[in-house]
């Protein structure tokens, strides 16, 4: 069965009307919250005082992008009934894992704008640029994938072609985000996530029953392989579940769009915000992903074999015009909520990390910062449109970026808890991890024989690192070390000798393990410690001049001699204990 959209396409007038309705409405919202004299800090973090409802909706909407919906359906179509569970459940849990680390980050740097800005205060220029650079790459890829999703949607449901669809979406997102930046992003996210939740609740059940549910799951069972029909499929876990567990943990820690919302929400609301977003994300993404499973049972074949076409063509096949219009708005809202977050993240990086730290906080001109931020949005949009024309696989992009960020996870987290981590250890560990990750991930070096065993051993260590970090945020260092060691011992007999066959998973785990081992080895014997209390002094607002510059306003942020004096009576940083958590 092939996707048939010939009779379900909208006219050009209808599509333009829907786009004007959506983007015109979001633009009006952004003008209502805009300020005649815009504030640079408000443009980046909305004053660090966003309430629960807006924050939870924004976190949910940002994590749920069109790519999440498309990729979840792709996972269901590729791996069968467990595919959407592996995609949605692990993605949801990673949102939950952010909050204990987020509480520590906000305690150390209550008024920061980017994680890279904190790394500059903690280590110096090279660590800052490394984290900022990775976020620029990640946000551009994210922007590109959302534009791809929009272009595919419009090209399938209207007379417009793919590039015209990409340009329409890009122009619409830029229109309402440019003036008020992050403030516009979080306010419009609230409206968008309400619309998306309502649309999913109506559209997914309708398509299921229109396609003959539940009979379709009986008559179409022959379309599945044994692995696709097995809920506990090892193929689904190794190909989708395990790589995504590693990838989304890296997304959670290294992604500026997430960090920006962490710095924006009221500090006391971090926990409920991220718990609510966990539930909202999981429900919506797993629900949409089940459309991919349904398509598999039906023998539905997306046009050209392009799985990016799967959801739009399923909608066009089974939805009446009114619900198809609702579906159109849902996908446009999903991709826009993340695209505007990417634009806000990129602008904050250039404002705070490129311009702000480049000239020094005391010399930074807030008006110039705003100009830099807005120019960044325009340039990023143009680059996103250009890259979108390549029409790469969205699922592959997501897993690749997450794996790439895996090299940063331990050095970043350790820098917030352990006073011994140095700039040299941070930089070296990340660069070496990337140097090992790339050839393993893309098969540049044969992994047969002895080298394959070495890769497997590193990957097994990576399993321990990933699980240990997950436990560390909630239960502390002792439990994390116990879980990490047990994970290595249990997985080693099964993984060594075969794990290198799964390049995506193996590459990600190797990035974790190499960066962790090198960062720890280069830091453990350091005698001088860092005083975490100075981070709050070195980061902060640009508009009121409240943040002190580093010792010389540029270059390395010098460590404070002696043992770290951690604020608030937190446990000894040398043992990597997390800050106390509020129950």
Predicted TM-score of the model (pTM): 0.80
Residue 251, classified by CB atoms within 10 Å of its CB into exposed (0-12), middle (13-18) or buried (19+), is buried
Question: How far is residue 375 CA from its own chain's centroid?
Answer: 23
Q: Mean pLDDT score of the chain, rounded to an integer?
A: 83
What distance in Å separates the CA atoms of residue 478 and residue 301, rounded to the nearest whole number? 50
Residue 444, classified by CB atoms within 10 Å of its CB into exposed (0-12), middle (13-18) or buried (19+), is exposed
Residue range 378-412, pLDDT digits in tens? 999 999 999 888 777 665 666 566 666 788 899 99
- DSSP labels, 194-242: HHHHHHHHHHHHHHHHHTTTTTHHHHTGGGS-TTTT-TT-HHHIIIIIH
Cβ contacts of residue 268 below 8 Å, gap of 6+? none
User: Is the pLDDT confidence value at 261 over 80?
Assistant: yes
Q: What is the pLDDT of residue 37?
A: 58
Cβ contacts of residue 278 below 8 Å, gap of 6+? 92, 93, 95, 96
* Local structure of 302: helix, strand or coil: coil
What distance in Å separates the CA atoms of residue 265 and residue 398, rounded to the nearest whole number? 26
In this structure, how many other beta carbons lie within 10 angstroms of the beta carbon of residue 386? 12
What distance in Å separates the CA atoms of residue 525 and residue 521, rounded to the nearest whole number? 8
Question: Average of pLDDT values for 242-248?
Answer: 79
Decide: 221 and 297 in contact? Cβ < 8 Å: yes
Q: What is the pLDDT of residue 200?
A: 83
Q: Comparing C-alpha atoms, which of 395, 394, 410 is closest to residue 511?
A: 410
Residue range 159-218, pLDDT digits in tens? 999 999 999 999 999 988 887 788 778 877 887 788 778 888 888 899 999 988 888 888
Q: Comparing C-alpha atoms, which of 123, 276, 242 is closest to residue 115?
A: 123
Residues in the chain: 583
How does residue 514 score in pLDDT terms, banded at 50, 70 and 90? very high
Q: What is the pLDDT of residue 561?
A: 37
What distance in Å separates the CA atoms of residue 314 and residue 111, rounded to the nearest whole number? 46
Q: How many CA atoms lie within 13 A of 24 on its CB side?
A: 6
* Local structure of 42: helix, strand or coil: helix
Q: How many CA atoms lie within 13 A of 365 on its CB side?
A: 4
User: Is the pLDDT confidence value at 513 over 70?
Assistant: yes
- In this structure, what token pair is assigned to residue 548? 């002190």
Residue range 416-450, pLDDT digits in tens? 999 999 999 999 999 999 889 888 877 787 777 78
Q: At 197, give phi and psi (nearest 5°).
A: -65, -45
Q: What is the pLDDT of residue 550?
A: 36
Q: What is the pLDDT of residue 380?
A: 95
What distance in Å separates the CA atoms of residue 40 and residue 545, rounded to the nearest whole number? 12
Q: What is the pLDDT of residue 546?
A: 41
What distance in Å separates the CA atoms of residue 50 and residue 187, rounded to the nearest whole number? 10
């Amino acid at each position: 069965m092939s996707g048939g959209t010939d009779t379900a396409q909208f006219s050009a007038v209808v599509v333009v009307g829907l786009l004007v309705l959506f983007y015109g409405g979001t633009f009006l919202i952004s003008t209502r919250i805009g300020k005649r004299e815009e504030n640079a800090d408000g443009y980046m973090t909305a004053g660090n005082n966003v309430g629960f409802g807006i924050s939870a909706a924004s976190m949910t909407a940002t994590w749920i992008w069109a790519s999440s919906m498309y990729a979840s359906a792709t996972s269901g179509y590729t791996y069968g009934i467990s595919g959407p569970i592996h995609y949605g459940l692990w993605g949801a849990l990673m949102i939950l894992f952010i909050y204990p680390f987020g509480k520590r980050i906000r305690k150390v740097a209550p008024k920061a704008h980017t994680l890279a800005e904190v790394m500059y205060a903690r280590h110096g220029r090279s660590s800052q640029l490394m984290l900022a650079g990775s976020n620029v790459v990640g946000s551009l890829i994210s922007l590109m994938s959302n534009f791809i999703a929009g272009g595919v949607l419009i090209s399938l449901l209207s007379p417009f072609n793919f590039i015209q669809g990409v340009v329409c979406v890009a122009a619409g997102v830029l229109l309402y985000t440019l003036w008020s930046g992050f403030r516009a992003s979080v306010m419009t996210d609230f409206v968008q996530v309400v619309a998306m939740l309502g649309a999913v609740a109506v559209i997914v059940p309708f398509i299921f029953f229109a396609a003959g549910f539940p009979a379709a799951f009986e008559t179409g069972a022959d379309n599945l392989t044994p692995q696709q029909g097995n809920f506990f499929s090892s193929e689904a876990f190794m190909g989708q579940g395990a790589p995504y567990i590693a990838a989304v943990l890296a997304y959670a820690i290294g992604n500026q769009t997430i960090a920006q919302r962490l710095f924006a929400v009221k500090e006391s609301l971090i926990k409920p915000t991220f718990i609510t977003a966990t539930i909202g994300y999981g429900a919506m993404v797993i629900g949409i992903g089940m459309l991919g499973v349904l398509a598999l049972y039906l023998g539905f074949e997306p046009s050209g074999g392009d799985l990016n076409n799967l959801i739009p063509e399923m909608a066009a096949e089974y939805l009446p015009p009114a619900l198809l219009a609702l579906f159109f708005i849902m996908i446009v809202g999903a991709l826009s909520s993340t695209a505007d977050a990417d634009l806000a993240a990129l602008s904050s990086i250039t404002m705070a990390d490129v311009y702000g730290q480049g000239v020094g906080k005391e010399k930074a001109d807030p008006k110039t910062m705003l100009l830099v931020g807005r120019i960044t949005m325009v340039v990023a949009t143009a680059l996103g449109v250009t890259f979108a024309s390549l029409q790469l696989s969205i699922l592959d992009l997501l897993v690749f970026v997450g794996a790439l960020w895996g090299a940063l996870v331990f050095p970043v987290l350790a820098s917030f808890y352990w006073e011994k981590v140095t700039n040299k250890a941070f930089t070296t560990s990340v660069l070496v991890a990337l140097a090992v990750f790339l050839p393993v991930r893309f098969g540049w070096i044969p992994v047969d024989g002895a080298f394959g065993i070495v890769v497997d051993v590193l990957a097994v260590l990576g399993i321990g690192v990933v699980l240990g970090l997950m436990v560390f945020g909630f239960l502390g260092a002792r439990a994390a070390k116990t879980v990490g060691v047990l994970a290595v011992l249990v997985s080693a007999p099964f993984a060594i000798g075969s794990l290198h066959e799964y390049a995506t998973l193996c590459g990600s785990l190797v990035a974790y393990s190499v960066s962790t081992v090198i960062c720890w080895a280069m830091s453990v014997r350091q005698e001088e410690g860092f005083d975490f209390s100075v981070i709050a002094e070195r980061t902060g607002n640009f508009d009121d001049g409240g943040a002190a510059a580093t010792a010389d306003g540029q270059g390395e942020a010098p460590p404070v001699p002696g043992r770290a004096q951690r604020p608030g009576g937190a446990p000894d940083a040398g043992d990597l204990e997390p800050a106390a958590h509020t129950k």
